[in-house]
Amino acid sequence: MKNPIKILVVSVLALSVSLFVLSIGARISGIYINTTPSLPVGFYQVVDEPIVNGAYVAFCPPQDAVFDMAMDRSYINRGDCPGGYGLLLKRVFAQSGDTVFIDQAGIFVNGEHLPNSAQLTADAEGHALPQYRLNIVLDDAEYLLLSDVNPQSFDARYFGLIARDQIWHVVEPLFIWSY
């Protein structure tokens, strides 16, 4: 009789290697796998489209103390971006010419309150969250990126605006299984 523990270990190892190879293949073919609750879980494909309000984008976070804290607390993954950060997927909610106001009550774009945008003061572990404040008209190189589906997402309400040169791709859902 075969040892069930050995079978389990070999099965888990084989599955891990398969997923790793699959993720490399997906990345090479321009497909991102989102497993976070910030956007619908699923596969997103790189598309040749402009960055507009409502578009999903993949971006490298800027190297700074807020993203260092986010990585230390596992809000974001490690990856190939400067600072060792992983790429993030978020939705564009404001761009050049839009007026953005951020406070604890949430984010307002051109006077409209965005759903699920109120800032939390602490995360699920009780750690204090940054309390970002902003009142500005965006210029040509600034974007407001966040999640409209997860009120606990680590997004613009905590780190502010993202510069155009941080955005790598526009992506669109290829296959999603949650919303």
60-100 pLDDT, tens digit per residue, is: 999 999 999 999 999 999 999 999 999 999 999 999 999 99
57: left (phi over 0), alpha (psi -120 to 50) or beta: beta
Cα 170 to Cα 51: distance, rounded to the nearest angstrom: 6
What is the widest separation between alpha-carbon atoms in the chain? 70
User: Would the pLDDT of 21 be above 70?
Assistant: no
CA distance 170 to 145: 12
Q: With 90 as the cut, is the pLDDT of residue 2 above it?
A: no
Mean pLDDT score across all residues of the chain: 89
pTM reported for the whole predicted model: 0.82
pLDDT at 123: 94
Q: Indicate whether 122 pLDDT > 80.
A: yes
Identify the pLDDT of residue 148. Answer: 82
Determine the straight-line distance between the first and last CA of the chain, rounded to whole angstroms.
45
Q: 37: pLDDT confidence band, cut at 50, 70 and 90?
A: confident
- In this predicted model, what pLDDT tens digit does every residue of 126-153 receive, in sequence order? 999 999 999 999 999 999 999 988 899 9
Q: Which of 5-14, 47-56, 108-117 comes out lowest in average pLDDT?
A: 5-14
Q: How confident is the model at residue 22 (pLDDT cuts 50, 70, 90)?
A: low
Contact 131, 119 (CB under 8 A): yes
**Candidate CATH numbers 2.40.10.220, 2.60.40.10, 1.20.1530.20, 2.10.109.10; the one for domain 30-176:** 2.10.109.10
